[in-house]
Every structure is written in C-alpha cells, then in structure tokens.
Amino acid sequence: MRNTIVCMLLLTMAMACGPGRKPDDAEPPVAPRHEKQLVIHGDTRIDHYYWMNDRENPDVIAYLEAENDYLETQLAHTRELQECLYEEMKGRIKQDDQSAPYYENGYYYYIRYEEGKEYPVYCRKPGSLEAGEEVMLDVNELASPHPYYRVGRVDISLDNRWMAFSVDTVGRRQYTIMVKDLATGKVSPTGISHAGGDVVWAADNNTFFYTSIDPETLRYYQIYRYNFFDGEGPELVYEEEDHTFYYLGVSRTKDNRYLMITANATLSNEIWLLEADRPQGDFRVFHPRLRDMRYRVWSYNGKFYILTNHEAENFRLMEATEGQTGIRHWQEVIPHRGDVLLENVELFDDYLVVQERERALPRMRIINMVTGDSHHLPFEEEAYTAYIGINAELSTPVLRFNYTSLTTPMTTYDYHMETGELSLVKQQEVVGDFSPDDYETRRYYVKARDGVAVPLTIVHRKGVDRDGTNPLLLYGYGSYGSSANPRFNANALSLLDRGFIYGIAHVRGGQDMGRQWYEDGKLLNKMNTFNDFIDCAEFLVEENYTGPEHLFASGGSAGGLLMGVVVNERPDLFKGVVASVPFVDVVTTMLDESIPLTTAEYDEWGNPNDPEYYRYMLSYSPYDNVRRQDYPNMLVTSGLHDSQVQYWEPTKWVARLRAHHTGDARILLYTNMEAGHSGASGRFRRLREQARVFAFILDLADKH
C-alpha cells in the first residue's frame, strides 16, 4: 500500500508540472568529425567517429558525459515517473529473501538478502536446516568501497574449511581471487589479478586452479595451479594458443573425482581431465578437438557420459569407460532425433535426467537406469521455461528443478523420481497484490516470409481488447544459439499493469527450435534473424494487438544488433526502440583482432577478411547502413568498461544516427561510467536503470 501511495503522490506532482513535462529543447551534443578511411578488398569506408575508440582520451570522456547530461535534460520531465517506477519495482521485492537451500558434502548452502541492502550474503548450515547459520561471505561489507562489485565463482574445499572466490570491481570481467578461512573468518588476498572468474579446489584442500585472461584481448587463455600454503607462486598448467578458442573454464566433476579444463570455440571444444586427488599431475585430453564437434563430459561410477553433436545435429548421449575415451569407444545411450534438441543431463546413482527441447518448449525425461523405464514431467502452460536445478549429490532419488513462465514466478521443485511426489521448495514472492490469474500468455507460430514458422510468445492482462491500440513491447535476441526462454519478470508488471502487451520473438539464431534454428540464423544466413523479428512485429499489427504508432522493440548486445538492423530496415514499424549495449559496428569490430571476442566469433558472424563474408556483413551492419530517413525514438545504453561490446560502438552509432536522422524523434544515449556489459551492480541500483528505460517507453506511449 505504501508504494501505491508514493506513486500516486509522485504522479500527481508530475501532472501538476503541466508544460514542464515536455522534453527540454536543448540541442544534443554534436560529435566532432575526423575522417578515417578503412580500406579492404578494394572497398573504402569512411568512419568520421573512429577517434572515439580510446577511453583514455579526455575528449571521449567529455563527450560521453555530455551525452549523459543531454539525456537527463530530455528525460527531466519523467523524473517523477522514474521515481515512481523505481519504488514500484522495489516494492515488489521481498527484501529479506533467501534462495532455496541445497545440500552438498554435509552442508546446506543458500544465499540470502537483508532488508535495504544491495548484495547477497552467502551462508551455510551443517547437516540440518535447523542448525545454526554460518555466514561465509557478506558481499555488502566487501562491496562498500566500490561503485561496482561482483562476485564471480565461489568454491568450497572438500574438507569444508576453505572458500576461494573471485571478484570484479570494474565490470570488465577481470577478476582478483581471494581465500577465506571459514574456521577463523580471515579473508586473504592471493595477489592474483587478471583472472577469468573460475576458481576450483583440488581434493588435497591446499591447491586451487583458476583461469587467467589476456589483459588486452581479455581472452580466457591460461589455467594456473596455485598451492595457497606453500609460499610458491602460481604455476601455468595449460595455455590455449588457438585464438579462435576464446573461453577456458576449469571445474570439478559432480563426483569430485576429476578436475576439468574446457576450451571453447563457437563450434567446437576440447576437454582435459586430471584426478582431483593428484593435483600436481598432468591434465590429459579426453578427446582431441574436431572441427564443428562439441561435447560435454560427466564422470560416474567408472564411466563417462558424453553429450555430443558428433554425427548428431541435435546432440545425442554416449558413454565410455575410463581409459577408453577415444570416440571409437563411445557407445550410444540416447540417439539423435531430428525434432528434439538434447540440451542437458543430470546423473544420479539410479536415475538419468534428460533436459530436451521440442517446438521451442523444454521438457524433462526421467530414466530409471536400473529398469530402463522412463517418463516425462508434465508441464501444462502454453509457454514456459523449465530446467535442471542444483543437484550436487549423486546418492539421492530427488531431482531439483526450476520452473517459470511469463505469468508464473520462478519456482523451485523437488521431484521424487521413485514415488512421483512433487514438492514445492520455494516460489519467488511478489510483494503486493500480484496474482497470476490476472494475466494470460499465448504462444503463436508466425509464418515468416520464407514460410518458416517462428514461435512468438506474448503476455498481457486479461481483458485486453484487440483493437490495434494497445502499446506493445517486443523483445528479441537471436544469436549464439541462445534460446529466448519465457521467464517471469516482476519488473514487467509495471508495463503490463499500464496496459502494455509484452512479447518475445523466438527468432532464428537462437536454439529454440533445435540446432538447425541456430544454423539458419548465423553467418551467411544472418538476415533470417532480422526478417523473423520484423515478420513477428507485422503479425502483431495484423492481428490487431497493436499498431506501428504503439509498437516498441528492445534487445541487448547481439539483440542490440537486431535492433540496429530493424530501425534501418523498418523505422516506420516502431514508435520507439531500446538498444542496450548494442553490437552495431560489426565490420570494423570483426576486422580488429585486438578487441575482445573478435577472433573467437568468426564462426558466428564470419571473418570479414574473406571478401564474401565482408560483403554480407557490410550489407546489414547497422553502423554502416545508417541513412537519411526518419528514425523512431531511440534509447541506446552502454557501459564504459564493457568487455563484450566496446562502449564506442553505441556511441559512434548514436552520433551517426543523429547526423542522418530527418525527423523529430529523440535519439538518446546513456553510458554507465562505472560499469560494463551488465550495467550497474546491486539489486536496487539496477532498478534505477530499468526505471529510466520504462519511463522512456511509457512517456512515448502516454501511459504514465
């Protein structure tokens, strides 16, 4: 009730402002133009804003700050609305909440939050949930001196005494590693910096392994071994020399028998193993990398289970015995199916759980490994997300899984695989008068221009009239094989309760409809991603859910690339667009091997050093295709320390858009000067950024 009253008061103040509600008529910053010729394959591109590619240049910082100041003037009339939205979203959060506890190696682990605080507290209880709480890490205390703070990987030694954790205080995914003695409470810095985030203990409880990154390209390329107690420095145990392999990870298998190094490229990977109880030994390759072959490995009871796409586009499950891990020894457990994507598995002593996806919907199959019997968990909503949760123990018949949808808050269940009993462990609490029964979700399969059926999911309050006047926000991503799973978002209620419809276009480039769905939306098929989104938007107009004067679009990172192409191709279709940390200067970035991610992503976008890929990428690159036309209202966001999409891409793009824009719509840029790709850290600070975005949209829709 308090938050409702606050919003009413703030909105009354906003309405009382009268003409002051209109945007300030200040002129936007004008970026200096310095011609830079970019020549390749006999083609010359002129980039007048190339000079922005230097975060150490004070002129660049001054320009970014000027853009932020301009944004504030243009959105000044929405300040009360932003404050209302912030209080509204904050008011839905159960502030003294905690995660569902899970059991591992003698302890129950969970994360909890305290009233009014930004960051989590990592806790555990020995043996029983009725035991006394042990606070392992209060991130609020550690974060207090820093404007940005993120804990990466946390790992507990097998004797339960030592906690190793990685910390990023900038937002550029460059971590330092610290160790805490859980018996004494002492936190010790290790002196390790430029770490990649992963840290994992060996079984001797003295040695941990961690990833290290190249300080320039930020490529995860080294694994180090470090005995925390012997006084010696870290020792390099693995270095990845192939620059197309961007990510190295290190972990420990569920049965704690092996340490595992995984080297990843876009389309292939390689795994190396070492017995966890002999950390001074040498890692050995499980199976040598093969072009276009991906695999994952689980260790269990003298066997390895392998999930792979080798001769199986949608993946299949294989098994091999220890000492015979070559592919010729693999035996098939679950065969390939052309209409079902095999996404993940979980192993127990007596059961195998398989996470699958069919027609953009996940499902879980339970297989009794003793009898061979199997069954699926029933899910009844039209569109939803379900996935395997934290299952740290092998010797249990209970599966932990998570379920959510656009109307169902995140819910954690325990499923007894022997008896079929389903137990609710925890459901996200939405403070206030929220009821799922007030909303409805629908799943459509939209016929795209080439005849392919593209899944489209929408949610809105019940009783919405399909008269073409509803404001609608359509989200899309469509890259890296990342499926756009429909999940509950309490923040979105601030739109839905003001009459908005929210939609997700499950465009090609994701993996929603299987691995081929990904293949059909990358490289020389990338235009399918953009066409699918436009076709879904047109479907919503044709079905009278909305109209172009009420339609909004949003996407971030590679989804920001999608937004960039859409506004070039169909600016008339949208009232407003939000592009968050957008990857928009595609050709220039993919020609610069010093930029993080470039060499690793040739298999995603293509290598523009090849004339064919250069021409294709140039045909859609948003920055290169800006032209003189009326663009929709746009809010573009970035982070100064972003390691995934460098800040200068959205900055240059906005400058070029403004120089070519022929209409009177607003094009705004916000740069978080203290964060990276994911924006602000802290659960409440993030809401400030979300409130700004929602206020921008609601103001354009005249839905205060």
State the catalytic residues: 557, 642, 677
Q: The sheet that has 176-181: what strands, in order across it? A: 150-156, 162-168, 176-181, 187-189
State how far the alpha carbon of 645 is from the alpha carbons of 2, 49, 248, 603, 677, in Å.
Answer: 40, 16, 20, 17, 7
* Side-chain-side CA neighbours of residue 590 (13 Å): 26
Helix axes 79-91, 685-701, angle to 10 degrees: 120
Q: Are strands 284-287 and 331-334 parallel, antiparallel or unpaired?
A: unpaired
Q: Which of 694, 351, 383 is nearest to 554 (CA)?
A: 694
Rounded Cα distance between 139 and 123, Å, is 11
Q: Is-contact 620 590, C-beta < 8 A? A: no
State how far the alpha carbon of 319 is from the alpha carbons of 251, 276, 432, in Å.
Answer: 20, 21, 50
**DSSP 8-class letter at 430:** B
- Annotate 501-554 with DSSP letters as a single string: EEEEE--BTBSTT-HHHHHTTSGGGTHHHHHHHHHHHHHHHHTTS--GGGEEEE
Rounded Cα distance between 152 and 167, Å, is 6
Q: Which of 554, 579, 562, 567 is nearest to 651 (CA)?
A: 579
Q: Is-contact 513 507, C-beta < 8 A? A: no
| Residue 366, token pair as written in the block | 């339970």
Helix (H) / strand (E) containing 433: none
Centre a 10 Å sphere on the Cβ of residue 10 and count the other Cβ atoms it contains: 21
Q: Is-contact 632 696, C-beta < 8 A? A: no
State how far the alpha carbon of 299 is from the alpha carbons of 157, 210, 256, 310, 520, in Å.
Answer: 19, 21, 9, 19, 33
Rounded Cα distance between 206 and 225, Å, is 11
Identify residue 11 by its one-letter amino acid code. L
State how far the alpha carbon of 388 is from the alpha carbons of 56, 104, 355, 392, in Å.
Answer: 44, 16, 7, 11
- Annotate 443-477 with DSSP letters as a single string: EEEEE-TTS-EEEEEEEEETT---SS---EEEEE-
Q: What is the end-to-end Cα distance of the chain in Å, rounded? A: 19
Q: Is-contact 606 613, C-beta < 8 A? A: yes
Q: The sheet that has 439-447: what strands, in order across it? A: 439-447, 453-461, 501-505, 472-476, 551-556, 576-580, 633-639, 667-672
Centre a 10 Å sphere on the Cβ of residue 147 and count the other Cβ atoms it contains: 16
Rounded Cα distance between 580 and 322, Å, is 47
Q: Is-contact 459 496, C-beta < 8 A? A: yes
**What's the full length of the chain, in residues?**
704
Mention every residue, 6+ apart, whose C-beta is less than 8 A from residue 416.
Answer: 397, 398, 422, 423
Q: Is-contact 334 347, C-beta < 8 A? A: no
Rounded Cα distance between 155 and 252, Å, is 10
Rounded Cα distance between 503 and 64, Å, is 32
